[in-house]
Amino acid sequence: MPEALRLPRIARVLVLLAYCAAGVLMILRAKEVRAFEALTCEPLIGLVTVGRDNTAAVGDVVYFGLHTSAAIGLQITNECTTAVLVIPFLLIMGAMALRSSVAVWRVVLATVIGVGMLLAVNVIRIGGIGWATYHWGTTTGYRVSHLVVGSLFALAGFALSVMVAFRVLLRGGDRVLS
């Protein structure tokens, strides 16, 4: 890369610090992050359970089956929030920003794509937990979909988001990070 187009080291450090600050902010604002996640999960849970008219997000809880005799609420806890996956992802991307062989704009693009993927994975995961709980009950449906399937899905989603991010960082695979 021509010297005129390279960002000074301080700019790369600032990207890392911005990503670290975003992670700290997600921790400090965990309640608001979980409430945002509940809002984003509400439409899908309504679609896969009893319908949008019988679904509501209140705080960090998504309720479904409202106006029926079997209303259920799924609470998004600190252990189940997307932040658990996004924060390590931000740290990985921040470390990549420090590498002079990687364009910072690619790091930012990879971060936006990866974080978007992680948010989508969590919405789908929570929607799946809602679907399983609605169809198979709070014992079998919730436990299996949350503890086993949901955990595996989240890990696979994290791995996929990292792989896609590195693909973006590597310019479509035409070079290898050294």
- The pLDDT of residue 86 is 97
Backbone torsions φ then ψ of 44, nearest 5 degrees: -65, -40
Closest-CA residue to 78 (of 22, 45, 36, 34): 34
Confidence (pLDDT) at 4:
44
Rounded Cα distance between 61 and 15, Å, is 33
Return the pLDDT at 175. 52
Segments making up each domain of the chain, as ranges: 3-173
3 state SS of 70: coil
**Residues in the chain with pLDDT values less than 70:** 1-7, 172-178
CA angle in degrees (0–180, nearest 5) for 22-125-81:
30
Phi-psi region of 172 (alpha: psi -120 to 50; beta: other; left: phi over 0): left
pLDDT at 172: 54
Beta bridge partners of 58: 61
